[in-house]
Amino acid sequence: MRSLFSRSRPHSSSARPLLRRALGAVVIGAALAGCAHRPPSATGTQWPLVLRTVLPADVLLLGEQHDDPEHQRMQHEAVKWLAIRNQLGAVVLEMAERGTSTAALPTSATPAQVQSALQWQEAAWPWAQYSPAIMEAVRAGVPVLGGNLPRTQARSAMRDQGLDQALRPEALERQREAIREGHCHLLAQAQVPGMARIQIARDKAMAQTLAEAHRSPGTTALLITGAGHTLRTAGVPVHLPKDLTVRIVVALQQKAPATAGAPSDTPADKSPPSEQATADAVGRLVPADADLVWTSHWRDAPDHCEALRKQLE
């Protein structure tokens, strides 16, 4: 199962990377089934020039699958393309906590200095994956800001019932079902509302950081985050000021290739059942939310739910 948005971290630090990759698109996609509109799509050869079709924008959300290096490469190219044109006002990261920033660093700052400024958590977010986009912004003199909810605030967010009112009832239920799915249905039901509140608090933190980062007309504040955080009705866009122009680009993998040795009565383009379900659900997710879809190649991945199950036993 592929990860599309950040997860509420389990208490065990050793389980965090596994859980971060476990939250899939199936439940969110199913909840948005029935949408008829499909946004334009682009492939690697058309990126980043195709960004012209969604710009100008005050805020640009780039939604990724966290374990796909092609998606981080796409982000790097977008940052470079915008920076060269002096259109990049700031880069906001889900991967760093709100309150951290590179704004005080010179353009010659070393990667170590940048990691220190962002209080980078290597165990959760491999620096090698995200450093090209981050360092590109730093070299261009563009501030990189942490946008995620500080971990010290997670417990209070979990108890804050006021966060339940931040979303419409149907969107709140999608968040809760996403928590169940993201924890591979291993989470006790009583914990689901609190974990969903943490997700909402994270979305609000990223939205507030973006709003503060957009200060210059004609520039774009760019958010790098998991695709689930980009949902218009349940993610970061809900919490942004309504006077900001928001555009969403979601990076998704192409459907899985046919399984070798599949039965002869299986259509050639059929993916393995679980992966096909994910791909179909993602196809329902995107039309409701994205302005553009960027497709990457299919990558085989381990069963993160099984790994998480073993780790939590």
Tokens of 48: 């980043």
Enumerate residues 6+ apart whose C-beta is below 8 A from 250: 63, 227, 230, 286, 289, 290, 292, 293, 294
Task: Give me the residue spans of the domains in the chain.
Answer: 13-256+268-312
Percentages helix, strand, coil for the chain (3-state, rounded to 5) are 50, 15, 40
By three-state DSSP, how is residue 133 classified? helix
Between the alpha carbon of residue 178 and those of residues 252, 283, 293, the distances in Å are 18, 17, 21
pLDDT at 4: 41
- Burial class from Cβ neighbours inside 10 Å (0-12, 13-18, 19+) for residue 191 reads middle
Chunked mean pLDDT (size 10), the chain, 313 residues: 40 43 36 44 71 94 87 94 97 98 98 99 96 98 98 96 96 89 85 94 98 92 93 93 94 61 42 43 56 76 73 70
- Between CA 277 and CA 286, with CA 282 as vertex, the angle to 5 degrees is 160
pLDDT at 24: 37
Which amino acid does the sequence have at 87? Q
What is the residue whose two structure tokens read 């417990």?
Answer: 155
pLDDT at 255: 59
pTM of the model: 0.79
User: What does CATH list as the number for 13-256+268-312?
Assistant: 3.40.50.11550
pLDDT at 256: 52
Tokens of 89: 């006002």
